Chain A
Amino acid sequence: MSKATEVISPDTSAPHSGQVNGGHLHDDHEHHDHIPKGITRWLFTTNHKDIGTLYLWFAFIMFLVGGAMAMVIRAELFQPGLQIVEPNFFNQMTTVHGLIMVFGAVMPAFTGLANWLIPMMIGAPDMALPRMNNWSFWILPGAFLILLSSLFMEGGGPAFGWTFYAPLSTTYSGDSTALFVFSVHIMGISSIMGAINVIVTIFNMRAPGMTWMKMPLFVWTWLITAFLLIAVMPVLAGAVTMVLTDKFFGTSFFDAAGGGDPVMFQHIFWFFGHPEVYIMILPAFGIISQIVPTFSRKQLFGYASMVYATASIALLSFVVWAHHMFTTGMPVYMEMFFMFATMLISVPTGVKVFNWVATMWRGSLSFEMPMMFAIAFIVLFTIGGLSGLMLAITPVDFQYHDTYFVVAHFHYVLVTGAVFSIMAAVYYWLPKWTGKMYDTALAKWHFWCSLVSVNVLFFPMHFVGLAGMPRRIPDYALQFADFNKWISLGGFAFGLSQLIFLALLIKACKKQGEPVSAQVWDGAEGLEWEIPSPAPYHTFETPPVVK
């Protein structure tokens, strides 16, 4: 991979050939400063950088909206008894919080990073299908507007959990289910279009010499993620469509009285749902694999084994789905199969963690903000991974299942995993995007406040879960009261900490701060660090040659 960074400008005879920057080299007259102005720039844009920015801001806004719902949940759970919201509204909050964080925050943030970075990393001028790129972003706000507006319907929004198990989501749900189904369809279409774009771009638009095994790991992990998306988003679409027809058109896919099977819903949902989990973590692995070598000033220990490990995780993700369903009453041999298959996933995941640690070993480490988040990621994601290994063991999963232990587990992998990796990525590439170093003092505040509060928030959830507190309840028995108070306080602190991040991002977008060099970080390698900072509106119009 290190070789990928030796770049030769295609026209070394040109006068300004010191920089690799196709746009400025050739088309000074046509393209110089040719950035459209006003709202139409954003509405009609086909530029991968603009679309990346749109995705990232959208994801951050959704992160705050979903976070506000989490604050409602934590406020209600601050002490036992019903204080603030009714159980029905509480269920709407847990449901929509989950949907927004998965489909509105984490996934669009990764798509935004893919848009910004993949063309710059493989030496392409833009994404392969720029108009579709515009469309795949701009249908998203509509989808979430539909979902959020359902909260204001008579009877409220979806209240059956983000997993929408039938028949709670069919026979026993409110009319807002139709809006829920429609919005999930649109999110799915957006994801599929985004995935197609990533795959076509990577297959067709790599610069000369950018062979498969020279691609940066972020590109690799996103390529594999895109295949996962194309494989499973249609399954989700099928599931919501069957829910729609069961509820409104008299079918009985999931109704035993009509010959259907409610457990079949769970098989279909988790056949989507488990690969979906890896859709939300594989790009994170890519990000960490970019950042750790930079700040260790040492190349990644095992590039090839990282690629193979990612591919194995993706393949295994298709044969483990029923570990979410151990209590539904499966034959014992099926429980065994899914237990062993799930345990197996820890092998390639372990390979990844060992690789990062081996990369840091005998490096020359410095601890700038991206590295701090990356290290926090490795530690806290591993904690989440280890609790995942415990959850794989079927007999004990019977005790853990649907308790706060599970809530702790998936928040460790999704918040301190996926979300921390996104923050690491933003701190890593933001100077490249804006051309200025962000406010590092604010960044430190953001990091330390987030790190402490996120653990106060999620770690005690292991304890209340083991002690027997079920998830998705608005009220709880008295022995869980002390920990829940701490969890809520941690939650409020973590929520407030993200406002520091918001302030930092606003400052960065106003282009305040010290100008940075093209390379930004002294250990950074890769094509994106060869172009000037800020990255020009058009890059690599003539592809670089990678030796």
Chain B
Amino acid sequence: MKQLTTVFVKWCSSIPILLFSPLLFAQEASEEASSLNLRRGATDISGQVYDLHMLMFFICVGIAVVVFGVMFASMYLHRKSRGAKPANFHENVKVEIAWTVIPFLILIFMAVPAANTLIAMEDTSEPDMTVLVTGSQWKWHYKYMDSDVEFYSLLATQREQIENKFQKTDNYLLEVDRPLVIPTGKKVRFLITSDDVIHSWWVPDFAVKKDANPGFINESWAKVNEPGIYRGQCAELCGKDHGYMPVVVIAKEPAEFEKWMGEQEEIVRKAKEEEQRLLSMNMSMDELMKEGERVYNATCAACHMPNGEGLPGVFPALKGSKMALEDQQGHIDIVLHGKSGTAMQAFGKMLSLKEIAAVVTYERNAWGNKTGDMVQAKDVNAVANGN
């Protein structure tokens, strides 16, 4: 027992040093992404938050060293095996007042900078530009409020990497097909909401984490100092693919940002023309099936599964389903408008008419669903316009 105790005492007294030494080391290390500690980030606010975090951390380490120090000292000095005789003191008003008042003063010391930072963080007034961020299962949608530019941002990591068939690349699970682009040096306000369940939009380098609540709009902001690529993730459990919903933001110099914005607006204009053109032309079955498979795997397979069998009891199968075999109008309608009260979202604003036509065709002709139906963009347009 005595031996054991000595070991225990030694072990315990080294806990604070052992456990916190990596953090102390990290503090000295350069500013590149640490795998041990918060990052200082790319905004003034995130720097303040980092300083606050380190202040809190060192106060806590200090408290721990004092408290555990006294405890380990008594474990060493006042052991029965060393012949310690118990003292008989108890209840000392002065001591008890001291250990109530001193922590209280420490708390006030912590509370002042915390309150100041918090007030600065929550001040979303007078932004230079505004982006509407909308979460849905399991992707983000960005809309620039002063422009026609809006797009979805989906996980870009290949399915095969997740399933361990391909080598995982550097930004595994932290890469998207279309990142949000914002200018540096400008106060960008984010309006954050959701189409379905609660998500949380988080970019650690901006110290921005705000829940996306369906039916309500939250506000946050960032003024990024350095151009760069900033990565984050959805932080609120939002269902099956919560882990596959990254956030990527690219900050560009204002001039570069304006150039990018111009290009995007041009793309939007062209896409609208293309949509009109497609209404008057038909695609072949091969084209529809090929495009449909791409859209299906990118958009539908997360729930309905790549084999169309769904997840029994959670997400319905499309393979052999009544709707995919018979009711073509209903099929187009549910893809366009979703089904309220279920996880089936409205894809009308996410996919183009051509893409919806292709994916409906695909669903009606894949996995043994052999209807032979071909759906064209104009059919989708008809349903969308209520004819």
Which A residues form the contact surface with B (CB < 8 A)? Answer: 80-83, 87-88, 91, 153-156, 159-161, 165, 167-168, 171-172, 174-176, 255-257, 261-263, 296-305, 327-329, 332, 335-336, 339-340, 343-344, 346-347, 350-351, 353-354, 357-358, 360-368, 372, 375, 378-379, 382-383, 386-387, 389-390, 393-396, 398-399, 401-403, 444, 455, 459, 463-464, 466-468, 470-480, 482-483
Q: Given A364-B80, A477-B171, is A172 in contact with B239 using a C-beta cutoff of 8 Å?
A: yes
Query: Which of B168, B209, B241 touches A87 (beta carbons < 8 Å)?
Result: B241
Query: Which of A304, A340, A475 touches B243 (beta carbons < 8 Å)?
Result: A475
Q: B307 interface residue, CB < 8 Å from A?
A: no
Which B residues form the contact surface with A (CB < 8 A)? Answer: 1, 4-5, 8, 12, 15, 19, 22-23, 33-39, 48-49, 52-53, 56-57, 60, 63-64, 67-68, 70-71, 74-75, 78-81, 84-91, 95-96, 99-100, 103-104, 107, 110-111, 114-115, 117-119, 121-122, 137, 161-164, 168, 170-174, 192, 196-198, 200, 202, 204, 207-211, 213-216, 218-219, 232-244, 311-314, 340-343
Q: What residues on A are CB-neighbors of B115 within 8 Å? A: 336, 339
Alpha-carbon gap, A399 to B1, bound state (A): 44
Q: Are A329 and B49 in contact, with the CB atoms below 8 A? A: no
Query: Which of A159, A361, A394, A483 touches B240 (beta carbons < 8 Å)?
Result: A159
Query: Which of A167, A361, A383, A473 touches B74 (beta carbons < 8 Å)?
Result: A361
Closest 6 CB pairs of A and B: A155-B313, A256-B215, A473-B243, A154-B313, A329-B218, A362-B87
Q: Are A382 and B198 in contact, with the CB atoms below 8 A? A: no
Q: What residues on B are CB-neighbors of A476 within 8 Å? A: 173, 243
Q: Are A477 and B343 in contact, with the CB atoms below 8 A? A: no
Q: Given A82-B164, A332-B119, A463-B37, is A389 in contact with B200 using a C-beta cutoff of 8 Å?
A: no
Q: What residues on B are CB-neighbors of A262 within 8 Å? A: 198, 213-216
Q: What residues on B are CB-neighbors of A343 within 8 Å? A: 107, 110-111
Q: Are B74 and A160 in contact, with the CB atoms below 8 A? A: no
Q: Given A365-B74, A399-B207, is A347 in contact with B107 using a C-beta cutoff of 8 Å?
A: yes
Alpha-carbon gap, A29 to B313, bound state (A): 61
Alpha-carbon gap, A346 to B202, bound state (A): 28
Q: Given A336-B118, A466-B36, A468-B204, is A153 in contact with B313 using a C-beta cutoff of 8 Å?
A: yes
Q: Given A87-B243, A161-B237, A350-B103, is A396 in contact with B52 using a C-beta cutoff of 8 Å?
A: yes
Q: Give me 19 other A-B pairs in contact (C-beta within 8 A), A167-B214, A332-B119, A332-B122 excluded.
A: A80-B168, A81-B161, A156-B313, A159-B239, A299-B90, A301-B89, A303-B91, A328-B218, A335-B122, A343-B110, A347-B103, A354-B99, A360-B74, A390-B56, A398-B49, A403-B235, A466-B38, A472-B237, A473-B242
Main SS at interface, chain B: mixed
Q: Are A389 and B56 in contact, with the CB atoms below 8 A? A: yes
Q: What residues on B are CB-neighbors of A346 within 8 Å? A: 103, 107
Q: Given A387-B60, A477-B173, is A357 in contact with B243 using a C-beta cutoff of 8 Å?
A: no
- Expressed in whole angstroms, the minimum distance between the Cβ of A175 and any Cβ of chain B is 6
Q: Are B35 and A479 in contact, with the CB atoms below 8 A? A: yes
- Expressed in whole angstroms, the minimum distance between the Cβ of B126 and any Cβ of chain A is 16
Q: Are A354 and B172 in contact, with the CB atoms below 8 A? A: no
Q: What residues on B are CB-neighbors of A160 within 8 Å? A: 237, 239
Q: Are A174 and B314 in contact, with the CB atoms below 8 A? A: yes
Q: Given A444-B4, A476-B173, is A362 in contact with B37 using a C-beta cutoff of 8 Å?
A: no
Q: What residues on B are CB-neighbors of A344 within 8 Å? A: 107
Alpha-carbon gap, A464 to B26, bound state (A): 13
- Expressed in whole angstroms, the minimum distance between the Cβ of B147 and any Cβ of chain A is 25
Q: Given A155-B314, A327-B200, is A351 in contact with B99 using a C-beta cutoff of 8 Å?
A: yes
Residue on B with the closest CB to A331?
Answer: B122
Q: Are B74 and A357 in contact, with the CB atoms below 8 A? A: yes
Q: What residues on B are CB-neighbors of A387 within 8 Å? A: 60
- Expressed in whole angstroms, the minimum distance between the Cβ of A301 and any Cβ of chain B is 5
Alpha-carbon gap, A367 to B8, bound state (A): 10
Q: Given A87-B243, A167-B214, A393-B52, is A360 in contact with B121 using a C-beta cutoff of 8 Å?
A: no
- Expressed in whole angstroms, the minimum distance between the Cβ of B249 and any Cβ of chain A is 14
Q: What residues on A are CB-neighbors of B311 within 8 Å? A: 88, 155
Q: List 14 A-B contacts (CB under 8 A).
A: A159-B239, A171-B196, A171-B342, A328-B218, A339-B114, A339-B115, A366-B79, A379-B15, A389-B60, A390-B57, A395-B114, A396-B114, A470-B202, A470-B233
Q: Are A362 and B78 in contact, with the CB atoms below 8 A? A: yes
Q: What residues on A are CB-neighbors of B197 within 8 Å? A: 165, 167-168, 171-172
Q: Are A470 and B235 in contact, with the CB atoms below 8 A? A: yes
- Expressed in whole angstroms, the minimum distance between the Cβ of B59 and any Cβ of chain A is 8
- Expressed in whole angstroms, the minimum distance between the Cβ of B67 and any Cβ of chain A is 6
Q: What residues on A are CB-neighbors of B312 within 8 Å? A: 154-155
Alpha-carbon gap, A300 to B89, bound state (A): 9
Q: What residues on B are CB-neighbors of A402 within 8 Å? A: 200, 209, 235-237
Alpha-carbon gap, A479 to B231, bound state (A): 13
Q: Are A298 and B53 in contact, with the CB atoms below 8 A? A: no
Query: Which of A161, A299, A364, A463 touches B35 (beta carbons < 8 Å)?
Result: A463
Q: Are B60 and A327 in contact, with the CB atoms below 8 A? A: no
- Expressed in whole angstroms, the minimum distance between the Cβ of B16 and any Cβ of chain A is 9
Q: Are B174 and A393 in contact, with the CB atoms below 8 A? A: no
